[in-house]
Structure formats: structure tokens, C-alpha cells
Amino acid sequence: MHINIQRSFKNEKFTLGALDIVDIDHEPIFTLENPWKDNKPWISSIPAGDYCVNKRISKKFGNCFEVYVVDGRTDILIHAGNTEEDTSGCILVGMACGRLHNPETGVNETAVLQSKSAMAYLNDLLKKADNITLTIKD
């Protein structure tokens, strides 16, 4: 099974993209990651490239996916979440992109929306997948 993430927009706060599962027809799935900060753990997106992905059950996020063999990094998950505050170096998924109001700052922030639905959908699409390869393109 092969997954592609095509990053489409980057700024100093976040990176947006689209996730495609090769050879499977599916609804659009959007991604949100941290901005590029030299691959520093917890605050940076990971470099573009090819990675291994395995299913994982996280105490915090439930059924999710872990991205392996990232130089200098561990614990990189594909999981539910909405804004850059939820990423911590991981990849968030959503069924749409939009904006969410942050009551602490009073600012409408760019977000992936319907994230729990997207995570359930992704888990369903990949339920029979054993070997998953992820390619991230800038």
C-alpha cells in the first residue's frame, strides 16, 4: 500500500497538503503539519521523502499511524487534530481545510476540519494494509 502527501502551502506557522492513497478511490483527505524548522523534533515537519508507516494504538490518539525511519526523529504520528498547536511534529488529517476560532488568542486559525472523521476514514481505508509506504513531496 502506498500513500502520497503532496504539500501545497507553507508559511512560518504551518504546512498544508493533500493525502492520496494510491490505487484506491476515496474522498479528499487534507493534511496539516508544522512548518519546516530544520527537522527539529516536536516543532518541525519532517523532510520530504519516503518513509515506512505502521498502524499504532496511542493512549492519547487511539488508532493512528506511526511514520518510521525519519532521520533524527521518533514518535511521528498521523493522527486527529486541527491546528498547528495540535501537531508537535506529527501529521494531522482532516476531511476539509478551513479556519477555527482560538478563544485564547481571539484569532481564526487555519485548520484541518472533521479530523476525527478523517482519521476513522483513513483507518477504514487502510484496515487491510500490512506494509504501508509514505512518500511526502514538497
pLDDT of residue 106 exceeding 90, the answer is no
Q: What is the pTM of this model?
A: 0.94
Domain residue extents for the chain: 2-137
**Nearest C-alpha neighbor of 35 from the set 59, 54, 10, 72:** 10
In this predicted model, what pLDDT tens digit does every residue of 29-43 receive, in sequence order? 999 999 999 999 999
